[in-house]
Amino acid sequence: NAGVTQTPKFQVLKTGQSMTLQCAQDMNHEYMSWYRQDPGMGLRLIHYSVGAGITDQGEVPNGYNVSRSTTEDFPLRLLSAAPSQTSVYFCASSPGQGAWEQYFGPGTRLTVT
Amino acid sequence: AQSVTQLGSHVSVSEGALVLLRCNYSSSVPPYLFWYVQYPNQGLQLLLKYTTGATLVKGINGFEAEFKKSETSFHLTKPSAHMSDAAEYFCAVSDRKVGSNSGYALNFGKGTSLLVTP
């Protein structure tokens, strides 16, 4: 099993550009989520999904879109990048069904200039 | 929503000394609690978790944590620090709500950076 994979590892964007951060898991997990990590802030939840076709907002959803068309994939879209979105982004998945721990991908480091 | 407070953003210990990282939570329901470790430029790795049952939980790499409901705490300990333990540690609580889709979301503390000196 590859676990949770994320691409790209690094990305530099200009203000106003859009892009998609990719996330995939091969563990057949129902639950997937996106977090951003900023210095001194811990991790904050952006969006999450409890299954294909079902998504919902987390703590900091503004400026981001998600969709979940398959169990395996959960892409995060930045609609119009802003410097405030400079961060490290982590995707995570959980088996659900009473197993509450989440498994994290290696992260994408995004810089918006 | 449930929340977590980690006391001390930086902790320094000598190699071989006791490691104690503090975590307190606020919760209106019995929580699920987690400790994660993050090595530089890597993702988060689960160290241990408390869901139900035994309040003393053992994890990987010799770490353990004890759930104390009366103190709303879930402190992480290790008897003897190794140089390889230097990392960022995060305590997290599940925002578990019966019947809610948000039940799997984790609320993280701001992290504690552990430095181990020779």
Q: What CA–CA distance (Å, rounded) separates B44 from A47?
A: 18
Q: What is the pLDDT along chain B (118 residues), one digit of tens a residue?
A: 678 999 999 999 999 999 999 999 987 777 889 999 999 888 999 999 998 888 899 999 999 999 998 999 999 999 999 999 999 999 998 866 544 555 567 889 999 999 999 9
- Assess contact for A71 and A28: CB atoms under 8 A: yes
- The radius of gyration of chain B's CA atoms, rounded to the nearest angstrom, is 14
Give the nearest partner residue to A104 out of B43, B101, B107, using CB atoms. B43
The DSSP string of B56-85 is EEE-GGG-EEEEEGGGTEEEEEESS--GGG
CB contact under 8 A, A43 and B44: yes
CB contact under 8 A, A33 and B105: yes
CB contact under 8 A, B101 and A103: no
CB contact under 8 A, B110 and A41: yes
* Residue in the structure block whose two tokens are 């550009």: A17
Residues of chain A neighbouring B42 (CB-CB closer than 8 A): 106-107
Q: What CA–CA distance (Å, rounded) separates A62 from B15?
A: 44
Give the nearest partner residue to A40 out of B42, B49, B110, using CB atoms. B110
A84 Cβ contact list (under 8 Å, min separation 6): A112
List pLDDT tens digits, range A20-76. 999 999 999 989 999 999 988 889 999 999 889 999 998 899 999 999 999 999 999
HSE value, Cβ hemisphere, 13 Å, CA-based, for A68: 22
* Residue in the structure block whose two tokens are 């977590």: B4
